[in-house]
A and B are shown apart, each in its own frame.
Chain A
C-alpha cells in the first residue's frame, strides 16, 4: 500500500524522513486531519533511530503541517490550503527538474511539454493511476501555476 522509506547516504537522515512524511501527507496516504502513527512505529518501519524520527516530526510541527494533540497524538493539519500549497511547490520542483533534464537533451520547454503529453497518451495506465491517486488535480494545478 504505502511507499517504502528510502534513506540515502549523502544527507541528514531527519531531512529525508521529513521529506518523505510530507510526500505521504500531500499524496493523501496520511489524510488531512488524520492521526499519524507513533514515532516508535514509524521508526521501526523505516529502520531508523526513534530520536531521528522525533526530530523529523519536530520539523513538521514547526512548519505547522503536523500538530500535537495531548490526547490524540500527532495529527496532520486540517489546513487543506496549506497541504495543497506544498503539493503545488513540490510539483513545480519536479517539473523544473524535468525541464532541466530535457534542456540538456536539447528540447525547448514547449517541445518537452508536447512530448510529455504524447507520452501520457501512449501510457494510459499511468494516466489512470495518476487521476486515481490525485483526486484534486485541478486545484493543485492552479497552485502549481502560482508557484512557477
Chain B
C-alpha cells in the first residue's frame, strides 16, 4: 500500500493563453479505482497526459510513487491514450509480442486470454479491424501489464455494451491493493458502481473529489445524476 501513489500539487497547464488545467491538488493512494469526470474540454486528457509526462506542466508538479514522470514512472504506469497508437501494418499478435518485449511487467498469457474472451483473432492485421475492435486491442495491451498505475483515457467510449461489461469486469478482476486505476469517461452511469472515488473537472479546475458513496449519501442521488445537474447546459 502506498498512500501517495499519485501526488499532484498546484498542477497547471496553459496552452498559449488558454487555461487547460488550473491548480489541481490531488493525492491518490494505491488500491483505488478513480473516475475522472467532466464535460468535453474540461481538461481530462490534459491531466492524464501530464501524469504520463507526455506534456510538461506550466506550473505545479506531479509525482508518481515519489518521482517526477520519467523512465521509472513509465515502467510502473500503463497508459491508454484517447487516440489510436497502433501501427496499421502489424498483426494483433505482432503488437502483443511487441508489448511483451518492451515491458517487463507484461503478462503475455493474460493478453492472449483476453483476446480469446473478446473473440478476437490474433492473426488479423490491425488495418482490417473496426474502430471498436482496435480500441479493444489497445485496452488489452494496456491492461495486460502489471502496473501500479493505470491511466485509461475514455476506455469504453467506442465499444459495444457487452464489451463494456467485459472491460469493467476486467478492471475489477485485475484489481489489486497495490495498483490504482484512473478512468476518464462520460459514461458515468455505466461505470459508477466500479469506482471508489471520483474527480469532477470543470473548465480545468477540480470542483469535487469524493467517494461515490459519500456523494450518494450526501446528495441522495447517483454521481450520474449529480453530473447532469452540475454540468447542465
Contacts and interface: CB of A to CB of B under 8 A. Distances in A.
Interface in A30-74: 40, 43-44, 46-52, 55
B168 A47 contact: yes
A47 B175 contact: no
Residue of A10, A11, A50 most packed against chain B (CB within 10 A): A50
B155 to A, nearest CB: 16
A9 interface: yes
Interface string B9-32: 000000000000000000000011
Interface string B193-229: 1111000000000000000110011001110110000
For A7, A13, A49, which residue has the most chain B Cβ atoms within 10 angstroms?
A49
Interface of B: 31-33, 165, 168-169, 172-173, 175, 189, 192-196, 212-213, 216-217, 220-222, 224-225
Most buried by A among B213, B217, B224: B213
Nearest to A47: B193
21 contacts: A9-B221, A9-B222, A9-B224, A10-B216, A10-B222, A11-B220, A13-B212, A13-B213, A14-B213, A43-B175, A47-B165, A47-B168, A47-B193, A47-B194, A48-B193, A49-B195, A49-B196, A49-B212, A51-B32, A52-B193, A52-B213
Interface of A: 7, 9-15, 40, 43-44, 46-52, 55
B217 A12 contact: yes
Nearest to A40: B175
B172 A43 contact: yes
B50 to A, nearest CB: 25
A49 B33 contact: yes
Contacts of A13: 193, 212-213, 216
Contacts of A51: 31-32, 196
A7 B189 CA distance: 11
Given A40-B175, A49-B193, A12 B216 contact: yes
Interface residues of chain B: helix, strand, loop or mixed (majority): helix
Given A9-B221, A10-B220, A13-B213, A50 B175 contact: yes
The 7 closest A-B pairs by CB, nearest first: A9-B222, A12-B213, A12-B216, A48-B193, A12-B217, A44-B172, A51-B196
A24 B217 CA distance: 24
Contacts of A40: 175
A49 B34 CA distance: 10
Nearest to A46: B193
Given A9-B222, A12-B217, A52 B172 contact: no
Contact of B172 (A12, A14, A15, A50): A50
B70 to A, nearest CB: 30
Contacts of A50: 172, 175
B193 A7 contact: yes
Contacts of B213: 12-15, 52, 55
A144 to B, nearest CB: 30
A49 B194 contact: yes
A53 B217 CA distance: 16
A116 to B, nearest CB: 33
A47 B32 contact: no
A11 B217 CA distance: 6
